Amino acid sequence: MSPYRIFRMLLLRWHRRIGVAAAIFVVMLVATGIAINHSSDLGLDEKPLKQAWLLNHYGIPTPVLRSFPLNSLAVGDAWLSQLGDGLYLAEKKIGSCASELLGAVSLPEVIAVLCIGRLQLFTRSGEKLDDISESLGLPGEVDAIAVNPQAVLLRTPSAVLAFDSRTLMFSAIGASDVEWAGAALAPPALQRGLFAQYHGSGLSWERLLLDLHSGRLFGSAGVFVVDLAAIALLLIALSGVWVWVSKPGRWKRPS
């Protein structure tokens, strides 16, 4: 058998093997490509990823949920929670706080929320009224919050302060047996709703498909594998053309 025929047989054999190996990547590329082209029609650009393992893969871990009950609200039991940087009244996001939430209390018309170095006031419907930081007059080292019928109480290492939400003034008082706001475990239904909202504010399915299509979902190794698959498809095309062109008798003119 001539070297030419041996080479042609080897090329044909590897043409088939490369085709089988690349088939799975062809299916993935075609499926993700079609989905990406119709992302807006399918709503994939707005549909969030909620799977915790996928978010963790992207380096977006679920943050700690910290909640405080607001049982004195006229509307019934409610919760003020912090998830990530977001502040939530029940499941409604009402603001943000980059530092740790230390407590929250409610007056007849105001909800007072204390984070480290920051006191925020909201209406009972969640509209922000005031935002007081240490640069705007909040005493330093405030570490707890409570409420009495007349005022919001704040605790510092040296004194207990009364805060008048109408005048925005602080005054030292002698207070004992104060029940400082304490964190508690929110009801399971509320926890699920808050985590669903948090997950829904991150990555979309469109982003996942784009990263899967390009191989970026699996890091630099994934991109390298997709590149190899593209090269394999090129080799299949070139070798297929060569095998067809070089078939014995292909170019003989009929007698």
Single pTM value for the model: 0.62
Residue 145 belongs to some domain of the structure: yes
- pLDDT tens-place string over residues 153-166: 999 988 899 998 88
Instruction: Identify whether residues 156 and 189 lie together within a single domain.
Output: yes
73/39 same-domain check: no
How many folded domains does the chain comprise? 2
Calpha distance 228→231 (Å, rounded): 5
Domain assignment of residue 153, yes or no: yes
Cβ count within 10 A of residue 124: 17
State pLDDT tens for residues 68-96: 999 665 445 689 999 988 999 999 999 99
125 and 9 inside one domain: no
Same domain, 109 and 216: no
Per-residue pLDDT of 119-171, as tens digits, reads: 999 998 899 999 999 888 899 899 999 988 778 999 998 889 999 888 888 99
**191 and 213 part of one domain:** no
| Within a domain: 14 | yes
Does any domain span residue 59? no
Residue 103 bridge partners (DSSP): 114
**Pair (7, 74) in one structural domain:** no
Which residue pairs, CB below 8 angstroms and at least 24 apart, start in 135-144? 137/168, 137/170, 138/170, 139/170, 142/102, 142/114, 142/117, 143/102, 144/102, 144/103, 144/114, 144/180, 144/181
**Pair 34, 94 in one domain:** no
Domain that holds residue 131: 65-200
Residue 182: pLDDT band with limits 50, 70, 90: very high
